Amino acid sequence: MSEKESVNFIEQIIQNDLAEGKFPDGIKTRFPPEPNGYLHIGHAKSIVLNFGLTQMYKGTTNLRFDDTNPETESTEYVNSIKRDIRWLGYDWEDREYYTSDYFDQLYDFALKLIKEGLAYVDDSDSETILEQKGTVTVPGTESTFRSRSVEENLDLFEGMKKGEFEEGSRVLRAKIDMASPNMHMRDPVIYRIKRMAHHRTGNKWNIYPMYDFAHGQSDSIEEITHSLCTLEFENHRPLYNWLIEKLEIYPSRQIEFARLNLNYTVMSKRKLMQLVEKGVVSGWDDPRMPTISGMRNRGYTPAAIRLFCEKVGIAKRENVIDMSLLEFCVREDLNRVAERRMAVLNPVKLIIENYDEHKEEMLPAINNPEDEAAGEREMPFCRELYVERDDFMEDPPKKFFRLAPGRNVRLKHAFIIHCTGFERDENGELVEIRAEYYPDSRSGSDTSGIKAKGTLHWVSARHADNAVVHMYDRLFKVPEPLADKEVDFLEHVNEDSLEVVKGVKIEPSLTESEALKPFQFLRKGYFVRAENSDGDLPTFNMTVGLRDSWGGKNKK
């Protein structure tokens, strides 16, 4: 797939493990989302890592829903997550697991701890537990319930399970060390009472395990060899290892890497949720969102996202990736696969004065210069066309290669024309450009010997259809919306991130195009037809613009 010989630190660990013969049956990883939100590009990094590793080094990757909190989880999220992973191009085959499938086993693990005097039921309320926890510099104090007998603990825990106690009245805690410098070792809560239905187990349970008592053991149950997670779980690792040791279960190895951050956007589920709830965007799948579903609607391809995830690398350093890298990856893929079409976003009429008013001809146009197999289509040509308003200047600078009085320009796949005049209305607004064409300059059979510096895209005025285009800009005005903790990130929202362009003229072949199929609108950018049109007209979302060395230069 790539020419790289350098491997990231996780691959190095795996290579070493394999060299030592530790995993003769192959390695096992897992992708463990909580079904309480939509997947975003940060999750994609983890998905590509976990599935990529087992493709590369022979192994399997499980999909496991970490559904230990019935309050926030639902099957709606389960389904969207599965759809997104499949769309990205990964297959977990029959290995679709749920932490809730392990509730019985986890309960038995808790029993084992209690029996060995390593867990106890605490009747303290949450405020008391918090107070007794101490701080990072002050050791905690032991709960008065810490020394309960095994029998009493067993009895009370059973009562918790049976629903005999109110929510919040008791918890089960591991008995570790209230003076540990690691806060996670100060007798962490491992079970809490929640008398509510779970999206999979229904009303079976009145108690649910905490993440810290479920995640690591779920890895062990599945015999995950390398359990990859983000940096913030580094401090939890000693607890997981303690549980593995005391429970005498499969020793999955946790390795932490830095999560993905992208500039000009936010990545946490909570923050994304706020954007949705405040109506800043139209939903989780708004094309401006860094969610997988948003990016899909924007026209990003799975291959582009995978490429991006490979290019960002895996390391332990906090990072903020440049949006330009994502855009590069998108163009890289789309340039190869997107068929070319012509659309005029800001049209102005162009009259070919010496072209017969009643004549029409069909001109062949290649669909993709990067892919011979994409074939060609025909475009109607006649006396009246539309071209881009920006492609004309009355008094242009010398480096302007487009239309101006007296200048020649090539109409892509058609003829070279000579600009003979133009018309403005009373407001000075350009309303019409006039030109003459050179009949012997037809593309593919040009014998005119005439040169033209620039090439323009166009559509036939008589045949063009109307469309709407959604242009997108970055969601935030600053590279790191979360950087200043004094300022609410919502204040950095770019209110011009969506521009609805009406009056767009598209070539006829675009009228019946299918949703989400990528196109390059020549000289403009990559677009996909939206699944839901804006009114009656076909609507196209801009995925990303073409690189523009003229526009940039011109601005400076």
Residues labelled catalytic: 34, 259, 269
- Please pick, from the candidates 18, 129, 255, 303, the single residue that binds RNA as defined by CB under 7 A: 129
Q: In the structure encoding, which two tokens stand for residue 325, read together?
A: 């890298």
Residue 327's closest CA among 512, 545, 139? 545
**Residue 312 Cβ vs RNA, minimum distance, rounded to whole Å:** 5
Q: In the structure encoding, which two tokens stand for residue 264, read together?
A: 């000009």
Nearer to RNA, 192 or 492 (CB): 192
Residue 174's closest CA among 206, 209, 205, 200? 209
- Please pick, from the candidates 20, 137, 358, 428, the single residue that binds RNA as defined by CB under 7 A: 137
**Residue 447 Cβ vs RNA, minimum distance, rounded to whole Å:** 10
- The Cα–Cα gap between 298 and 225 comes to 36
Which window, 17-25, 229-237, 245-253, 510-518, contacts RNA (CB under 7 A)?
229-237
Nearer to RNA, 50 or 286 (CB): 50
Contacting RNA within 302-331 (CB under 7 A): 311-322, 324-325, 327-328, 331
Q: Is 370 in the site for RNA (CB under 7 A)?
A: yes
- Please pick, from the candidates 72, 75, 79, 144, the single residue that binds RNA as defined by CB under 7 A: 72
Residues in contact with RNA, shown as a per-residue x/- string from 255 to 284 under the rule CB under 7 A: ---x--------------------------
Helices 237-247 and 211-221, axial angle in degrees (round to 10): 60
Nearer to RNA, 286 or 437 (CB): 437
Q: Is 412 in the site for RNA (CB under 7 A)?
A: yes
329 three-state secondary structure: helix
Q: In the structure encoding, which two tokens stand for residue 522, read together?
A: 């020549």
Nearer to RNA, 324 or 427 (CB): 324
CA angle 536, 538, 544 (to 5 degrees): 145
Residue 167's closest CA among 145, 188, 195, 189? 195
Contacting RNA within 450-479 (CB under 7 A): 454-457
C-alpha radius of gyration, the chain, whole number: 31
Contacting RNA within 47-66 (CB under 7 A): 66
**Residue 58 Cβ vs RNA, minimum distance, rounded to whole Å:** 20
416 three-state secondary structure: strand
- The Cα–Cα gap between 276 and 269 comes to 11
Residue with tokens 């601005």: 555
Which window, 75-83, 346-354, 420-428, 442-450, contacts RNA (CB under 7 A)?
442-450
**Residue 171 Cβ vs RNA, minimum distance, rounded to whole Å:** 5
- Please pick, from the candidates 91, 108, 152, 232, the single residue that binds RNA as defined by CB under 7 A: 232
Residue pair 56/253 in contact (Cβ under 8 Å)? The answer is no
Size of the site for RNA (CB under 7 A): 97
**Residue 358 Cβ vs RNA, minimum distance, rounded to whole Å:** 24
- Please pick, from the candidates 14, 34, 266, 333, the single residue that binds RNA as defined by CB under 7 A: 34
Nearer to RNA, 266 or 286 (CB): 266
- The Cα–Cα gap between 292 and 274 comes to 17
**What is residue 258's DSSP assignment?**
P
- The Cα–Cα gap between 244 and 221 comes to 11
Contacting RNA within 77-106 (CB under 7 A): none
